Structure 1
């Protein structure tokens, strides 16, 4: 039994939330302050030279190359390579990346996925730098390291061997964000050598601060297709890998490289012949080299696909990206990796739309207990080491409701230190062990379906060697209410569907209310445009106009005073979250717009009715010249359609004499 004094908070260790290391309060790696160093260089007219990661073989690593080649390396700044260098040109894209001599496809595959998720990308790649204004040869990038966001400062001297990039090189000759970001990550890891072979799952976590899951494609889950599409819809980062030795990189006849990491960039379900086909889009960090089988760029399968799908999905270029069937994906690849700020990839198939994930984080030290040769994993140490208690309140036997991640922490400049075999026991109130998970990995994560009750997590190691760790416990709260603590992503407050993020919408409202208790149409316009601007897909349909926000406010304004209270805005926020999930689900080709058929499906998914005449008028009223509806207009349309549908129902149920059908009523009120 748990001791009477035990509670759901730990007796030892400390919670890391709110401490130094948040995206708003970054920890300075090596104590280096980017702004102070740049200001000092500018005042002296000097270009920054980083003494903590110098232009020297020590930053490369002693065993990456033969000794004679190490001493042939030259370091050059972008200003020495190009007359007009840029950090970014025409936005950040995975197609900017081409892997160099270093075997860091695992990191570049994660980086390729990061470029698709703006809410995470903006954390990693600060905008306050470049080669034009205040250039001083200094740049900085941010990574998540053991529960903290750290700011890594570098100089812009890049390594070259025989006139060629040793590291990643950009596809566009004067765009340098990939090379500089890779250098910052090498510094974080201790050297370029430490990037030569690694784990895609680790890089996904380092770029997001999230939690990851791995699926073996040799024994895949039966609902793999649904998992992929749900992960894509909920804006997860995804990658995959092939079996084989990463040092050899043998390219097969079908174009797939053995021992190589790839990015999963999309998943789609398209009509094909007399049914539907699940296809997966994958990108090779080499920037070239593609699958040559069915659904590849020039395969005959595309000839049987409707033109609108083919034009939206097929990019017939030798850029390393290709489509393949889900069946071929399982046969050619060994592992699938999915990562997000919360375990939204576990929410697929969940019929409840109000789930939220809470998080508790703890940092502490595990020490070996008395030697116990009977136990492989030193369970005898449980009595002298930390135990962490948590309570499960809700339970759905069909979906996981708890995720536990244990990460071993290496000291700075010791990133190449060998991982121990670590893991944890999960016990019930009567000390019965439910599960034990041990792996020789940096991050051990387990997902469970637990019934309501109190449980304990006991971290441990197989070796008799102490280690510092970060423990994170994610709990799914099915019955969400206003006071529950939910974890939001570091970017877009509503970026993950299936999360009712109470705390984030309140903070957003209060910020725009400017110390007041209500917001007007102008404040609502600023708020909504701030939200959609943080997401590439929702921003494609344009910004909210003042008139559209005035119309939205009128629909939600129960007091008819031209302002929204927090409670009224909460109702609007829940509708926005619901409509965003529907929009992404029905936008099959990821174009950022819905056509007339997709709009009809979206209306039905929202539980509303329509007919051919009303649908035609909705496209006239809310569509663009190409017959498409963007997210902004979709929101305005759905809010009005929902409100007017309920208005008709209330009038009819109230005994009012209505001499028209529901469709006639909606046709009247939705077009005027």
Structure 2
């Protein structure tokens, strides 16, 4: 159940420079082909039975349970448990998960975070399967292993003990994706027993193929708060853990479980009494059991929060999710772990456009090449494997290099004991800059290095050879606004929707023809080409030139008919927020919101609208059936939010709003047509 033991500083290496796993070229675990096996079962009219991970004690593990209980294990398929089973119902959510008897909170905490980042979830959970249509008792899931994506095939027989799930069980009785995904991960690890205790950091990497870093909350770096903010903006997976491995599963009086892993699901800064308060939202993989201190579900602190924010943030249910202050977070938890495909969580403070490149090496470390039991005396460094990298010459204000070393176990011993591994960084004069050795699978460290050429030397303190994967991430400044990512660049050329906020500078530079500002026509081209790639957002029409003029007028603080990069950044953050809200409220994926969905969307945005105003919005921005497409939704919400804050500022804390003629004219000028007067008409753009 433990999530973290010691902070990782390093990772593993191998000899294939630049080799990388691909979702277009997935390796077949145990050489099992899902499509071939399912087709064979359908032709023969049989349900699949996996001989490589059978419904047998060997798949459970001999030491997970006492012998008499192992003999009582029963295996059942979902079709034996439910009349109408489903793989997924109403989308995938962390609230679908409830931990079973197995101590795999470390994996489930990572899985809870995975459900919140759809760009990663779709890689792990293929859509070409279910209990309807081509059901044959066979399913498959994908995990990243040492540089490759691996497709793991399973049958759907699940273990039960005394009529209860031994493994994770879904909160909804006929939804089975959590149990089946856990079984596939157990197969990858060798048995369910091998899930009983592990590292949160390992699971985060296995679900993403990314790079992870752990940060101590007892000895936090001075910039931890900035790192966490950047992690939220760049859609990272984030988890945390408590200490007390000898007291695992012990629940304290305050509700926090010792030796346990949790998911970090949100963070917000809100007005509280006469100031501001930073609070963090955390989820327990048990599916119940919550913090009982300040900012918990029934705590009096919520009485001092504005009702609209309290309604939006507070979910008063025993579902394992709770809020707590940042101070209590650091007191109660020991480690926080952040993971993404590149170290975007280290990009805070950079004012220029940057990307991360990565070099990958797979090789075998041999004790014959080393001296001094892993530590190199003078003159022996040159005899060991060295991997060179170049730090570019540009002014980076923070971390610009990440080294990740991962030790690879033999395929027949995936749960073997970890060696104590680490690495050295040297300059051209062979002077050692950094070193560190830890008995964990994945050792990662970040550095601020001056421009120049460096070498990384993987090593172990034990006289034993090991295969490793070494990844060297280097931050680069991208001077060419139109250049595509090179082969070694981690960030994809087509920026996924979830990452739009962190990449607004790249988008701006691509469409700002003079490099300093964009006008309405450039904004129109940008919005239609970048935002409407998504099938759902593209259903409700496109951004017109007039609507882009109206948007520009709202955001153009200089009133010069153009948006600077800073103004565009503000607009981009608002639009990405609206995209997320629209996606969540468009539950039937129609590409439109009806009036009730629009009301819910407004509330989710932290605003409020009367029924009269809702009807006016639907009339002004909706189609003939008063459904509002994404483009019109963005225009409406931008105007509504701007008007709301404008009137709040004009009220200046009082109950009566007094406006000068000039203020009325300025508000009216933010609307493309001006045939009516009055607040409702201005909001609707009439």
Partner of residue 17, structure 2: 15
1:446-457 aligned within 5 A: 446-457=445-456
**Deviation string for 1:433-467 (max 9, x for gaps)?**
22112211111101011121111111111112111
1:402-417 aligned within 5 A: 402-417=401-416
| Larger mean Cα displacement after TM superposition, 430-439 or 440-449 | 430-439
Change (3 A) 1:587 1:271: farther
Q: For the residues of structure 1 that align with 2:571 and 2:335, how far apart are their CA atoms? A: 33
Partner of residue 401, structure 1: 400
Change (3 A) 1:665 1:487: farther
2:490 counterpart SS class: coil
2:469 counterpart SS class: strand
Q: For the residues of structure 2 that align with 1:668 and 1:104, how far apart are their CA atoms? A: 55
CA contact (8 A) 1:212 1:340 kept: yes
Change (3 A) 1:255 1:374: closer
Give TM-score scaled by structure 1 length.
0.78
Partner of residue 493, structure 1: 496
1:545 equivalent to 2:533? Answer: no
- Give the CA deviation at 1:231: 1.5
Partner of residue 120, structure 1: 120
Q: For the residues of structure 2 that align with 1:621 and 1:523, how far apart are their CA atoms? A: 24
Q: For the residues of structure 1 that align with 2:411 and 2:155, how far apart are their CA atoms? A: 19
1:59-458 aligned within 5 A: 59-245=59-245, 248-348=248-348, 350-369=349-368, 372-373=371-372, 376=375, 382-396=381-395, 398-458=397-457
CA contact (8 A) 1:26 1:148 kept: yes
Partner of residue 44, structure 1: 44
- Aligned Cα RMSD in Å? 4.1
Change (3 A) 1:501 1:270: closer
Partner of residue 472, structure 1: 471
Q: For the residues of structure 2 that align with 1:263 and 1:118, how far apart are their CA atoms? A: 16
Change (3 A) 1:298 1:595: closer
**Deviation string for 1:83-138 (max 9, x for gaps)?**
11110111111111000010000000000011111111111101100011110000
Partner of residue 656, structure 2: none
CA contact (8 A) 1:402 1:450 kept: yes
Change (3 A) 1:222 1:135: same
Q: For the residues of structure 2 that align with 1:178 and 1:42, how far apart are their CA atoms? A: 25
1:39 counterpart SS class: helix
Q: For the residues of structure 1 that align with 2:618 and 2:271, how far apart are their CA atoms? A: 24
- Give the CA deviation at 1:596: 13
Q: For the residues of structure 2 that align with 1:456 and 1:487, how far apart are their CA atoms? A: 21
Change (3 A) 1:342 1:260: same
Change (3 A) 1:596 1:40: closer
Q: For the residues of structure 1 that align with 2:39 and 2:14, how far apart are their CA atoms? A: 42
Q: For the residues of structure 2 that align with 1:62 and 1:573, how far apart are their CA atoms? A: 61
2:245 counterpart SS class: coil
CA contact (8 A) 2:360 2:470 kept: yes
Q: For the residues of structure 2 that align with 1:67 and 1:277, how far apart are their CA atoms? A: 52
Q: For the residues of structure 1 that align with 2:101 and 2:606, how far apart are their CA atoms? A: 45
Paired residues, number: 588
1:257 counterpart SS class: coil
Q: For the residues of structure 2 that align with 1:418 and 1:663, how far apart are their CA atoms? A: 69
CA contact (8 A) 1:313 1:589 kept: no
Q: For the residues of structure 2 that align with 1:471 and 1:207, how far apart are their CA atoms? A: 18
Change (3 A) 1:374 1:525: closer
- Give the CA deviation at 1:324: 0.3
Change (3 A) 1:233 1:50: same
Partner of residue 564, structure 1: none
Partner of residue 517, structure 1: none
**Deviation string for 1:558-610 (max 9, x for gaps)?**
xxxxxxxxxxxxx99999887444555899999886789989xxxxxxxxxxx
Partner of residue 538, structure 1: none
**Deviation string for 1:385-420 (max 9, x for gaps)?**
432111111444531011111111112231111111
CA contact (8 A) 1:405 1:443 kept: yes
| Larger mean Cα displacement after TM superposition, 41-50 or 336-345 | 336-345
Q: For the residues of structure 2 that align with 1:575 and 1:152, how far apart are their CA atoms? A: 47
Give TM-score scaled by structure 2 length.
0.77
Q: For the residues of structure 2 that align with 1:329 and 1:413, how far apart are their CA atoms? A: 40
Partner of residue 558, structure 2: none
1:24 counterpart SS class: coil
Partner of residue 679, structure 2: none
| Larger mean Cα displacement after TM superposition, 490-499 or 43-52 | 490-499
Change (3 A) 1:80 1:467: same
Q: For the residues of structure 2 that align with 1:188 and 1:374, how far apart are their CA atoms? A: 32
Q: For the residues of structure 2 that align with 1:44 and 1:86, how far apart are their CA atoms? A: 23
Change (3 A) 1:378 1:313: farther
CA contact (8 A) 2:373 2:461 kept: no
- Give the CA deviation at 1:292: 0.3
CA contact (8 A) 1:361 1:473 kept: yes
Q: For the residues of structure 2 that align with 1:115 and 1:56, how far apart are their CA atoms? A: 30
Change (3 A) 1:88 1:40: same
CA contact (8 A) 1:93 1:116 kept: yes
Q: For the residues of structure 1 that align with 2:505 and 2:185, how far apart are their CA atoms? A: 32
Partner of residue 563, structure 1: none
- Give the CA deviation at 1:423: 1.2
1:55 counterpart SS class: coil
Q: For the residues of structure 1 that align with 2:14 and 2:107, how far apart are their CA atoms? A: 34
Q: For the residues of structure 1 that align with 2:492 and 2:246, how far apart are their CA atoms? A: 33
Q: For the residues of structure 2 that align with 1:273 and 1:629, how far apart are their CA atoms? A: 38
Change (3 A) 1:597 1:121: closer
Q: For the residues of structure 2 that align with 1:619 and 1:525, how far apart are their CA atoms? A: 22
CA contact (8 A) 2:14 2:467 kept: no
Change (3 A) 1:246 1:319: farther
Change (3 A) 1:271 1:545: same
- Give the CA deviation at 1:632: 7.0
Q: For the residues of structure 2 that align with 1:637 and 1:586, how far apart are their CA atoms? A: 8
